[in-house]
Structures are given as C-alpha cells and as structure tokens.
Amino acid sequence: MKPFEDACNELQHARKARTAGFEGRARVCARRSAGMAIREYLIEEYNIFRSDSLFNLLVDQSVRDLLPPQLIDSLDRLSLKVNEQFQLPPDVDLISEAKIVISLLESKLED
C-alpha cells in the first residue's frame, strides 16, 4: 500500500459526499482524511503511533509541534466547529484543507 492511500481514499469519500449533497458527511470525511495523514506521518517520520481519535490528532498541541508549521492554519480550519445552522464560514473548505495536509505531509516524507 502506498503512503497516504487510506487518507486519499477518505478524501475521495468526502468529495463524493459533497457531490451528493451531504456536506456534514463531507466535513467528517475531510477531517478524518487529514487525521489519517497525520497518523501515518507520525509513524513514518517519528515511529510514533498515536491511538487518539483522528480529530484529536488535528488539535493536540504535542502532535502539532511535530508537524510542519505551514499546516497550522489548515489544522485550525479543519478543527472549526459549525454554527447553529451547521455551517462553517463561507471561505472555509475542509476538503481543500485536508488536501493541503495530505500533500504537504506526503512531500515531507519524500524529502
């Protein structure tokens, strides 16, 4: 299995959910895909396995300290809570943010 395959598959589930009109499911899948990428990065780069929830990997400061600093803004957006109408700010696209996380971590492992 190639690195980040599970994360990429989950990101594809997010895209399909959005296309089908299930934005809530798309958000969950996008967050999950970013968490999967982080977990894999920690294993490959540091030989650290964290059994935390995938969402916790997005918000845990000790994990963030091990990640490239360019990801912090994406992680902040991925961990935003929805408002009372179950919406995020209009300029936040969690699928795009998850793609950034996956791409950057993948490139770091290739270096």
Distance CA 25, CA 15 (A): 10
Q: Please tell me the total count of domains within the chain.
A: 1
What's residue 2's pLDDT? Answer: 72
Distance CA 3, CA 104 (A): 13
What's residue 1's pLDDT? Answer: 55
What range defines the domain where residue 47 resides? 5-110
Residues of the chain with pLDDT under 70: 1
Which CATH number characterizes residue 11's domain? 1.20.120.330
Distance CA 28, CA 83 (A): 15
